[in-house]
Amino acid sequence: MLVAEHDDPHALRSPAPELLERENSEGDRAARGHRPRVEDDRVAPALHGPFAVLDLARLHGLRLVEDCAHAIETRWNGTPAGLIGDVGCFSFYVTKNVAAAEGGMLLTREPELAARAKTLSLHGLTADAWSRFADQGYRHYQVVEPGFKYNLTDVHAAIALHQLARVEANHARRAAIWARYQAAFAGLPVRRPLEPERGTVRGCHLYTLLVDDAAPRSRDDVLAALAEWKIGAGVHYTALHTHPYYARALGHEPGDFPNALEIGERTFSIPLSPKLTDEDVEDVVAAVCDALS
């Protein structure tokens, strides 16, 4: 685990008022300063974005851990993902925009939290192997609490550090490819990603399309057609509740979550690597247009 301490002066903000306004339009809600309440069933944190979730967490003395696994480039209302809550967790798994093969990064403004995460990530020890066997000679260490074996190896960390330096250049290239796709697929029977809200920077991790009913092929037939063009495509994701284990363990029927089901059946993702050449991008565009025309 790589623990980055961040003392960005960005104060933690209250929820974006215009977002809360949309849901909390009644006078009494305005009177309480747009503060969401958990007993208010019309306040659904996911609808309001992370700042409202943060407000809820503060109200109830809870810690907010952000899962920003593949959002290292993302900013929401000016604040980078990972700095909105108390702790941000990023993934450096091989499919991510920063890919160190495995592992990830934990970001926090709180030095005590960072120190504790570091200790917990390696058996609850006061010193890691690197500092136990330093050039100055052996240093004693202690187990101060029961920990885990969740450390990022030094080899993986070395790979990740070099990739961190390329995040912005890679993001610019992904964004350019994204813009080309958005323009190229405007007339096809697909739903394209929405444009980001003002003040928001999108990570551009996956470019996904949703196949419309009016399309000449089903999603799976589109995947097969792309394979014939030798274009790698993916599905992000099949609805979780339709996987056999979750369906069995939790007793879910496919129709229990109709939106997740619909997206899972219609979605496909196309290549979005910064390594794609302009020619590669045009090959992808030609294949997708052919599959959907």
Ligand X SMILES: Cc1ncc(COP(=O)(O)O)c(C=O)c1O
The catalytic site residues sit at 96
70 is a site residue for ligand X (CB under 6 A): yes
91 is a site residue for ligand X (CB under 6 A): yes
| CB-CB contact of 182 with 158 (8 Å) | no
User: CB-wise, 138 or 245, nearer to ligand X?
Assistant: 245
121 is a site residue for ligand X (CB under 6 A): no
User: CB-wise, 70 or 219, nearer to ligand X?
Assistant: 70
User: CB-wise, 19 or 206, nearer to ligand X?
Assistant: 206
User: CB-wise, 71 or 225, nearer to ligand X?
Assistant: 71
- Among 18, 21, 67, 290, interactor with ligand X by CB under 6 A: 67
151 is a site residue for ligand X (CB under 6 A): no
- Least distance from C-beta 253 to ligand X, angstroms? 25
150 is a site residue for ligand X (CB under 6 A): no
93 is a site residue for ligand X (CB under 6 A): yes
- Least distance from C-beta 217 to ligand X, angstroms? 27
Q: Where along the sequence are the contacts to ligand X (CB under 6 A)?
A: 67, 69-70, 91, 93, 104
